[in-house]
Amino acid sequence: MNIILLGPPGAGKGTQAQRLVDNRGMRQLSTGDMLRAAVGAGTPIGLKAKAVMDRGELVSDEIVSELIDAELAAMDADSGAIFDGYPRTAAQAGMLDTILASHDRKLHKVIELEVDEDALVDRITGRFTCANCGAGYHDRYKQPETEGVCDVCGSTEFKRRPDDNEETVRTRMQEYRAKTAPILPIYEQRDLVERVDGMASIDEVSEAINGLLR
Ligand code: AP5
Ligand code: MG
């Protein structure tokens, strides 16, 4: 199964994608994670993307679509893909159709995480991840079981994203409203959209998504 998780910054796309990876053996294809890896490695794509990401604006459609194409090319044909943070524009939605067809895949569902935007700034500014394995945490909603120690790998190093400050988050929200939310009707017309209450607890949201994938 190939699915898109759609929702504004902080909606829980990455958190839920990780659950699906753990529980269903699907693959998470997060263009944000791919871009951050490129920035960290100082590749030409990373050098181009860094300033754009720090401002909270969108990187070019061509760059992110090439990243997705390359990941799909390297994947087993029978692993399902979770598109997390892609597509984000109408142009990317068109590119994804072409890319999926070229890999003999089709899109099964678009799951929209419906959230209250006012709560998202709080979710995002409290977020941190394990610097070693990338497991996600939150200052208030998801602390490691032992303070300062990653539940998954035991590392004691954590990090925060440079774009997780209030000003950049506001720009990211505006970009979502202006460019990403308008792609929903494309998928509605194809009868692919399912909606989940993203304000429920992390476990409840996972349960709802699992129910849709049965
Ligand atoms: P990207 O990395 O995709 O960021 P984003 O869309 O802004 O989304 P986030 O990763 O911030 O949120 P999320 O929905 O994954 O939430 P999470 O699960 O972490 O993109 C970053 C940048 O890269 C973009 O701004 C752009 O510049 C560029 N980019 C990326 N893709 C692009 C594309 N396709 N085209 C162009 N440019 C692109 O959850 C957030 C926090 O809340 C966590 O701490 C979590 O523990 C907590 N939480 C999650 N769910 C719940 C819940 N149900 N209850 C309580 N807390 C919760
Ligand atoms: Mg994310």
The tens digit of pLDDT for each residue in 145-195 reads: 999 999 999 999 999 999 999 999 999 999 999 999 999 999 999 999 999
Nearest CA to ligand 1 atom 18: 12
Q: Is the pLDDT of residue 59 over 90?
A: yes
What's the pTM? 0.95
Closest-CA residue to 72 (of 39, 23, 28)? 28
| pLDDT value at residue 118 | 83
Q: Is the pLDDT of residue 58 over 90?
A: yes
CA distance 121 to 164: 9
The token pair at 89 is 């524009």
- DSSP E strand stretches across the chain: 3-6, 27-30, 81-84, 109-114, 127-130, 136-138, 158-159, 193-197
Ligand nearest to the CA of 123: 1
CA distance 214 to 201: 20
| pLDDT value at residue 176 | 97
- Helix, strand, or coil here: 85? coil
C-alpha of residue 9 to centroid of ligand 1, in Å: 4
pLDDT band at 18 (very low <50, low <70, confident <90, very high): very high
| Ligand 1 pocket residues where CB is under 6 Å | 7, 9-15, 31-32, 35, 52-53, 56-59, 64, 85-86, 88, 92, 123-124, 127, 136, 138, 141-142, 163, 172, 201-202, 205
Cα-Cα-Cα-Cα dihedral sign, residues 124, 126, 165, 120: positive
The token pair at 181 is 């939310």
| pLDDT value at residue 72 | 97
Phi and psi angles of residue 69, each rounded to the nearest 5 degrees, phi first: -60, -45
The token pair at 115 is 């959230």
| pLDDT value at residue 214 | 85
Q: Is the pLDDT of residue 14 over 90?
A: yes
CA distance 85 to 124: 15
| pLDDT value at residue 153 | 97
| pLDDT value at residue 97 | 98
The conformational region for residue 68 under phi > 0 = left, psi -120 to 50 = alpha, else beta, is: alpha
Active site residues: 13, 88, 127, 161, 172
> Angle, to 10 degrees, between the axis of helix 44-55 and the axis of helix 61-73?
130
CA distance 30 to 101: 19
Mutate to test the pocket of ligand 1, among 54, 99, 124, 161 (most ligand atoms within 8 A of CB): 124
CA distance 122 to 195: 22
The token pair at 156 is 């004691």
